[in-house]
Amino acid sequence: MTFTPEVVAQIASHMNGDHADDNVLIVRGLAGIGSASAARMSGMDADGMDFEATVDGIAVPVRIPFARRLTERRQVRGEAVRMYQQACAALGIEPTH
């Protein structure tokens, strides 16, 4: 599946607006960049989500793959939740939602 630029922009707006702290946890826990001080979703496709993380004041591109290739837009939410939960587990913290 190819997500249109409009769909990617809507998802990024939601992730960056409502889940900015979760983005940081995902980058820290799943990409192993514990020193990330910020992260914003910068793109995505059917295979993963892209972030721009701030590490020591420098913007660093980060790719987090999905567990499986997505075939529908509605699957994005489930993958974002899975990534958040796995990141919390990797960091040894309790998910808050």
pLDDT in tens, 76-89: 999 999 999 999 99
Where residue 15 falls among pLDDT bands split at 50, 70, 90? Answer: very high
What pLDDT was estimated at residue 1? 74
Note whether 35 and 55 are within 8 A (CB).
Answer: yes
**Sheet of strand 58-65: strand arrangement:** 36-45, 48-55, 58-65
Q: Residue 66 pLDDT more than 80? A: yes
Over residues 45-64, the pLDDT tens digits come to 999 999 999 999 999 999 99
CATH architecture of 5-91: Alpha-Beta Barrel (3.20)
- Report pTM: 0.93
Tokens of 28: 């820290």
> What pLDDT was estimated at residue 97?
82
- Which of these, 54, 46, 44, 39, lies nearest to 87 by C-alpha position? 39
* pLDDT recorded at residue 80: 96
